[in-house]
Amino acid sequence: MKRLKQHAIWGQRGSFILAATGSAVGLGNIWKFPYITGENGGGAFVLMYLVCIALIGIPIMMAEIMLGRRGRANPATTMLNISQELGVSRLWSVIGWMGVLAGFLILSYYTVIAGWTLEYFERATHGSFRGLNGDTSNALFSEFLADPTRLIFWQSLFMAMTVLVLAFGVNKGLETAIRWMMPLLFVLLIVLLGYAYSSGEFATSLRFMFSFNPEDLSWEAALVALGHAFFTLSLGMGAIMAYGSYMPSTASIGKTVIVVACLDTLVALMAGVAIFAFVFATPGISPSSGPGLMFVTLPVAFGNMAVGTIVGAAFFLMVILAAWSSTISILEPAVAYVTERFGLHRITACVLIGATAWALGLGSVLSFNHWADVQILWGKNFFDSMDFISTNMLLPLGGFLIAIYVGWVMTREQAEHEFRHDSVGLLKVWRFVLRYLSPIAVLAVLINGIFPLLTTVFSE
Ligand code: TRP
């Protein structure tokens, strides 16, 4: 197999788990999961999300890592190389291409929201949450969103941070940072949960998140749950494939994936329970308040804690780190592609791609103020449209193609070659689910979730 450049390998044991967890755990868990749960009715949505993680997320994650480790290159080249080796169409490299596109769109708006966490970290360190209530916190947030200059400043800084780490390469920057970040994040979430237990509406929150109302089930919510399962596990665009390509051949893929998926889900559920406990304890805030949920509720909680300044600052710092280890993984596939394919210097590639995604991100910045009423897709503003196209369409489509490729195009032997260290039973279940359940479930949700939207457009 032709390799254009020597590809990096994670240096220390456990680095893959940490890096994959770092990629998976991010704004998706702490910021997005609670607000989409709030918008989609609570318990029923949580259930659909858990089913998607188990039936679709875990098997596809195993497939993606397997492909990456086998190809040992960036996603597009990996798909091309493996397809040539198997003697199947080169068109399958479209999986890599779509991934680069999806990553690009996601990075553009992800850095905007990540920028908000920088602003809120600064506010926390200045003690500006003290004495906040629901209304004043809401006002503070709206005032921030109305100021595109500030949003752009933080967005730019976050993009620069992402480019910086990647410019340093995989091992030095990324690997070192995540080794202490992830454990600390867990400790902080437990502290937050403890506080929510003692001072928030904890029982109401649990009831909201875990009581199941069949009438809350809908295809639209299922589509959001499916998209989020991909988003939160960083699947469907080659990020995990790229990380898998740095994975030593001796590590067991199945066990690793289960650990990563469980940690990721745990963080999301903990963040959700804590945030809703504060939502229900704070008058003037509703669970369905959208993207601002975390930024409005938590400051109120921190502002009324005895040591709120420290806990608040530490919390937002952790969110920054979680988001940072995610943006890195979103940008990495495109950077790996450009450097390996065109021989561009790594630094040039990072700056070039980062700058383009930054420019696209300006549209998302404006959709929170000047362009708030500008609709791009189905009544969605620019930010929501970027999110919808990438998360709810491109990622599931990428995942579907990966499932078909690994389940049907590759033979059993070819597919299982990289799983030497996994149990036979696990592999049996994996292959069955990947061949039948995952693709059918993804298609069913995609068709039923997107079709009604299309028909509303044509009937207008
Ligand atoms: N999983 C991350 C989160 O939940 C976001 C992310 C990182 C991502 N890499 C990705 C999403 C690749 C989609 C594809 O915040």
Q: Is the pLDDT of residue 7 over 70?
A: no
Number of helices (H), then strands (E), in the chain:
22, 0
Helix (H) / strand (E) containing 344:
none
Query: How far does the centroid of ligand 1 lie from the alpha carbon of residue 60, in Å?
Result: 15
Which carries the bigger pLDDT value, residue 439 or residue 418? Answer: 439
pLDDT(458) > 70: no
pLDDT at 3 over 50: no
Residue from 64, 233, 326, 390 whose mutation best tests the ligand 1 pocket (most atoms within 8 A of CB): 326
23 lines ligand 1 (CB under 6 A): yes
Token pair 């976050």 is found at 158
Q: Is the CB of 229 under 6 A from ligand 1?
A: no
**Percent residues over pLDDT 90 in the chain:** 44
Spatial neighbors of 1 by CB under 8 A, at least 6 apart, are 71, 72, 81, 85
**pLDDT > 60? residue 165:** yes
Please, which pLDDT band fits residue 5 given cuts at 50, 70 and 90?
A: very low
pLDDT at 74 over 60: yes
> With bands split at pLDDT 50, 70 and 90, how would you rate the model's confidence at 207?
very high
Distance 235 CA to ligand 1 centre (A): 7
Whether the per-residue pLDDT at 456 is higher than 90: the answer is: no
Q: Is 165 exposed, middle or buried (0-12, 13-18, 19+ CB in 10 A)?
A: buried
The mean pLDDT of the chain is 87
What is the token pair recorded at 131? 């004495």
Split at pLDDT 50, 70, 90, the class of 173 is low
Q: Which residue's CA is minimally distant from atom 10 of ligand 1?
A: 234
- pLDDT over 70 for what percent of the chain? 93
Q: Is 234 in the pocket of ligand 1 (CB under 6 A)?
A: yes
- For residues 399 and 64, give the distance between their C-alpha atoms in angstroms, rounded to a whole number: 9
CA of 24 to the centre of ligand 1 (A): 6
Listing DSSP states for 261-280 in one string gives: HHHHHHHHHHHHHHHHHHHH
- Under the banding of pLDDT at 50, 70 and 90, the label for residue 229 is very high
Alpha-helix runs per DSSP H in 343-380 = 346-366
Specify the pLDDT at position 460. 54
Cross-strand bridge partners of residue 380: 377
Separation of CA 228 and ligand 1 centre (Å) = 9
Token pair of 171 as six digits: 């091992």
When pLDDT is averaged across residues 72-84 and rounded to a whole number, the result is: 89
Best substitution site from 106, 158, 165, 325 to test ligand 1's pocket, by max atoms within 8 Å of Cβ? Answer: 106
Q: Is the CB of 33 under 6 A from ligand 1?
A: no
pLDDT tens-place string over residues 317-348: 889 988 998 998 899 888 888 888 888 888 99
Q: Which residue reads 């790594």 in tokens?
A: 346
Ligand 1 atom with the smallest distance to the CA of 326 is 7
What confidence tens digit (pLDDT) does each residue in 275-331 have?
999 889 888 788 888 888 899 988 988 888 777 888 889 889 889 988 998 998 899
The stretch 415-419 carries a mean pLDDT of: 83
Tell whether ligand 1 has an atom less than 6 A from the beta carbon of residue 29.
yes
Determine which residue's CA is closest to atom 12 belonging to ligand 1. 234
pLDDT above 70 for 133: yes
